[in-house]
Structure 1
Amino acid sequence: MAADVSIKKTSAFSQRPNTGRWLKLFPLVTLAAFMLPILAGILGTLLPAFHFLPALGGNHLSLEPWRQLVAYPGIWHASLLSLATGLTASLLSFAIVCLITASLYQTSAFARLRRVLGPFLAVPHTALAVGFLFLFSPSGWIVRTLSPWATGWDRPADLTLSPDPAGVSLVAALVLKEVPFLLLMTIGALGQIPTKQNLAVARSLGYRPGEAWLKTILPQIYGRLRLPVYAVIAFSVSVVDVALILTPTTSPTLGILILRWFNDPDLDQQFMAAAGACLQSLLVMAAIGLWWLLERGVILMGRWRLERGTRDNRFTGSSVWLLVGGLMALTASACMAVLALWSLTRRWRFPDTLPSQWTAMNWSRYADQLTGPAASTLIIGLAATAIALVMTLGCLETEKRHGIRPGTKALWLLYLPLLIPQTAFLFGAQVLLVASGWDGSLAAVVWSHLLFVLPYVFLSLSESYRGLDDRYARSALCLGAGPGRVFWRIKIPMLLRPILVAMAVGFAVSVAQYLPTIFAGAGRYATLTTETVSLASGGDRRLAGLFAFLQAMLPLAGFWIAIGIPNWIYRHRRGMKGEA
């Protein structure tokens, strides 16, 4: 990106200062398309929060929306529920990732764990939430499996298992989804430091492997994990689609209340909704602030223990955390399996463990209802991913040709849409779209998805692109090839696998978007995600399972394609398989 950059003289194109001047436009265009709408959206939310929105009769600044917000029944319970569930899910996710990595790092189990991350990363939050609901509800698959022989129940019990008012199921589902993401970020950070040497020194001083990892490796990589952790906190505190599925209507989170107010036919509720969106931002800031204080406490305690040279012989061995990781993977797999079961079910009465009658006719019976949302999901996802890929490649190639390397400030800009609650700027962005006449257009929906797809595509591809050996480009330049030919004939083929994986990640992110589709699409574009959320609380589990299962399969298909195409293209070139 364009901000906080330092110039390096090691670029393969440093002796060709006039090559690709037009490439310098890519960071500027990317920042403009990326940052200006977000800032405008924040302003468009902040002003109505103080009763200034002339289109709805708000012609003067006032604190009335905040008075209404404070007086709204249940507002503080909803706020505390959002803060508690978000922080708890983030803390558990990070702790589990650290302990699993500390216990299993440099083992064959950890290598196998890395290979199965892709499928779990691809599953959208909403599909996993629906599967979790079908698994743990009072009439869920687990209760059916245990009934009646273990429970004595021949009908669903009146229990608050999932959804539950305390948000336990919401926390559990968020942990299942965020652990693979943080684990992937941790693996990427581990590749940037000399872990073997550090662990060898720590082991020579008498530390056990897990304790050595926590005391020598984690402090070195945490700086690289801070932004991903903050992004997880922001998402968990402000999540709406998963909360709609896994919390009861009588105990909503703040995000659900804000969505209700935005969709209320009474337009005066828009002002209170904007104030609620600002309150949501304050909650996220408070959660990140509490996490920062926790960081400081852990740092002080860690220094104290290191200075004393204590050894913790109580550190849990690898078998326990291998079991924890296995149980999480099994639970996530069971969530997907129960979706597949319901999509093929004709009759499944409680307490039968499996359907008594199976059918594949559900897919043809509901084909008309599936086709439109599936097509919209594909079109929007592919368009947003393609635009994000072009922007990313343009920015990365600019770095290479002109010796530019983004600094920390650019990374913060990249994470900005992930650190701000979606409601905090999507409402303002919708106001902007209405004023420009783009509201409800396909271009608006694609753009709204692009805001979240671009950071993930850039983060997925940047390290591979920057890590490509410059000697390949130098050799081609010495043989007379121009920079453009080097890009298309050398870099793209060698980076085919990372490029396709980045596209798969971007497409998976687009498929999962719920609020951007609703706000920018004005209800005109139904996707698999919006339909899945609507059907999750309905009475037809077959239809809900079918939509959720298809929603999960599309991103998985993207990852399979990203892995399969390079394997097939370079099936006779072993070296290219390693680079691609």
Structure 2
Amino acid sequence: MGLGLFPAVTVVVFLGPILVGLVGTLLPSFGILPALGGTEPTLKPWRDLLAAPGLTASIRLTLITGVAATLMSVALAFGIAAAWHGSRWFAVLRGVLPPLLAVPHAAFAIGFAFLVAPSGWIVRLLSPWATGWTRPPDIALVQDPWGIAYTLALVCKEVPFLVLAIAAALGQTGADGLLRAARSLGYGPVAAWVKVVLPLVYRQVRLPVLAVLAYSLSAVEPALVLAPTLPPPLTPLVLRWFADPDLALRFQAAAGAVLQSGLVGGAILLWLGGERAVALIGRRWACAGGRGGSGWGLRAVTAAGMALAVLAVAGSIAVLALWALARGWRFADPLPAGWTLDTLAAAWPGLAGPALNTLLIGAAAVGVGLVLVAGCLENGRRLPAALAGRALWLVYLPLLVPSVGFLFGIQVVLVAAGLDGRWPALVWAHLLYVLPYMFLALADPWRALDERYERSARALGAGPWRSFLRVRVPLLLRPLATAAAIGFSVSVAQYLPTLFAGSGRVATLTTEAVVLASGADRRVTAVYAFAQALLPLLAFAAAVGVPAWMHRRRRGMRTG
């Protein structure tokens, strides 16, 4: 296959399903779904949707939690970069965040619930000596009416993603030189960063910010575990209609999915409009000449916020491990009374199948994704930088469109083709989300590699494929392994794609963990959630260890 075919194949495999899925969801929202007897256009699905109990409250909850989580995440991420850029702590943070980012949303949400619930680990550690409680308090700390726990959980997961995106963008803006120039004019460190670096960095990370906004408005797994239930946010409410035994509700659910897409699209447009207003105000502030202070206040606030986010993710995984191994854990003991592997042994017969499915689907999606991404990037080296930059919008499309907005349409097509519940359909559905993250992880290292290495190989008689396999791939082994680990962790985390493409017949660790999250046995739930979190962490460990082992006698190969 010529390199020029890779982009075309990727568009067909990648963007085609999304467009087909959007159409396949839009048509049933207007009553057209022949499989269920819908052959004439009608507005009945929309009338039923608008008359659904709790719809207004659901939309309000969706907007409040989604926008609040995005604003808090953006403020904290940029505050950390402004206050700590260039420090040793910022460099350490960049190394700590990727494994935390790899923790699937479902596992984190379950662990977070075990952490902050009225009978959670935090209350146990503080009781009774600090709180006086000898039994769990009657306080809605999880699934609270305002969605506070849900919002905070979203912030804890999105801030690491944004910080890493900002850190990657800093290397492309010449930030250090700009900061030195601003500091020489008497500006404080934070004021200098905000005035001369922030405008440049934000252009680079606009798409990740919009992806965070889209996800916060349409998250599924955290909402099912942490958000209020009467009513829930819009996406879980739509899923409830899709799963209802009454097939007539599929039309109403499709209308709800289109409404969800409209909310996200409207929020993105408002955010882009808000950028203009903020830029105007910021321009006036920058021209006012204020030099700013030392920035220690911002340093203290952002360090505390980032520490809490990191501790929340780490604590959530730790409490899953504790519950998975606990023999018994009475309130308000700070730790289990004893340890046992009996829960794991009892859960293993049911755990093995979903774990194997998770591993195989993830490995297949990563394998296909690596081939497509490498082919597109190799072909993209011949394209102008501006054209490559515009292509990022296509890569981010699945992250900007709510999953529920097109996955139902894809399911309709798969059912019609007899492919629902089949492995190719599952791998394909996961690839829609694996591919963007792998592309973003690999794009900069791929383009940054000095082309003189391959030119030297070609001058010594190596052909194009030999120089690619013997020079470029070994030098980029670490970024390739990291991209594979990121893609695998994204695949492990997929809930809706597995549910729709698998028609509920293929169980993975994610689908089982979400189902068990509403159960009464915390130990069994913890086993599944911890297993789900463990697989991506092992993938990241392999991404670090395998290149180090293969290059153990080639210490000079630090290009990757």
TM-score range, shorter chain: over 0.9
Identify which of 527, 533, 540 aligns with 1:559.
Answer: 540
Letter in 1 for 2:126: L
More displaced stretch, 200-209 vs 557-566: 200-209
Matches within 5 A, 1:284-363: 284-313=264-293, 315=295, 316-363=297-344
Q: Which residue of 2 aligns with 1:507?
A: 488
Quote how far apart the aligned CAs of 1:488 are.
0.4
Identify which of 93, 113, 122 aligns with 1:142.
Answer: 122
Quote how far apart the aligned CAs of 1:247 are.
1.8
Q: Please, what TM-score do these two structures have when normalized by structure 2?
A: 0.98
**Distance in 2, Cα, partners of 1:522 & 1:317:** 49
- How many residues are matched? 558
**Distance in 1, Cα, partners of 2:535 & 2:422:** 23
Following superposition, which runs of at least 4 residues in structure 1 exceed 4 angstroms of deviation? 402-405
Quote how far apart the aligned CAs of 1:314 are.
8.0
* Contact 1:137–1:163 (Cα < 8 Å) also in 2: no
Identify which of 116, 120, 136 aligns with 2:96.
Answer: 116
**Distance in 1, Cα, partners of 2:432 & 2:298:** 42
Deviations 1:462-515 (A, max 9, x none): 111111101011111111110000110000000000000000000000000000
Percent of aligned pairs with the same residue?
53
Identify which of 52, 56, 59 aligns with 1:72.
Answer: 52
- Is 1:431 aligned to 2:412, yes or no? yes
* Contact 1:148–1:351 (Cα < 8 Å) also in 2: yes
* Contact 1:398–1:404 (Cα < 8 Å) also in 2: no
**Distance in 2, Cα, partners of 1:399 & 1:204:** 40
* Partner SS state of residue 556, structure 2: helix
* Contact 2:107–2:529 (Cα < 8 Å) also in 1: yes
**Distance in 2, Cα, partners of 1:22 & 1:300:** 47
- Is 1:228 aligned to 2:199, yes or no? no
Identify which of 76, 97, 110 aligns with 1:130.
Answer: 110
* Contact 2:231–2:237 (Cα < 8 Å) also in 1: no
Quote how far apart the aligned CAs of 1:317 are.
4.4
Q: Which residue of 2 aligns with 1:276?
A: 256
* Partner SS state of residue 453, structure 1: helix
More displaced stretch, 296-305 vs 480-489: 296-305
More displaced stretch, 304-313 vs 256-265: 304-313
**Distance in 1, Cα, partners of 2:294 & 2:83:** 13
Matches within 5 A, 1:421-500: 421-500=402-481
Letter in 2 for 1:367: W
Matches within 5 A, 1:13-412: 22-313=2-293, 315=295, 316-400=297-381, 402-403=382-383, 406-412=387-393
Q: Structure 1 stretches of 5 or more lacking a match?
A: 1-20
Deviations 1:393-451 (A, max 9, x none): 11112233x45654343111111111000011000000000111101111111100000
Q: Which residue of 1 aligns with 2:522?
A: 541
More displaced stretch, 505-514 vs 293-302: 293-302
**Distance in 1, Cα, partners of 2:164 & 2:479:** 14
* Contact 2:147–2:228 (Cα < 8 Å) also in 1: no
* Contact 2:380–2:388 (Cα < 8 Å) also in 1: no
**Distance in 2, Cα, partners of 1:171 & 1:471:** 49
* Contact 2:66–2:213 (Cα < 8 Å) also in 1: yes
**Distance in 1, Cα, partners of 2:423 & 2:383:** 37
Letter in 2 for 1:487: F
**Distance in 1, Cα, partners of 2:96 & 2:105:** 17
**Distance in 2, Cα, partners of 1:77 & 1:314:** 44
Aligned CA distance change for structure 1 residues 270 and 462 (closer, same or farther; 3 Å): same
* Contact 1:133–1:163 (Cα < 8 Å) also in 2: no
Letter in 2 for 1:94: V
Q: Which residue of 2 aligns with 1:3?
A: none
**Distance in 1, Cα, partners of 2:18 & 2:460:** 45
**Distance in 1, Cα, partners of 2:476 & 2:223:** 38
Letter in 2 for 1:534: V
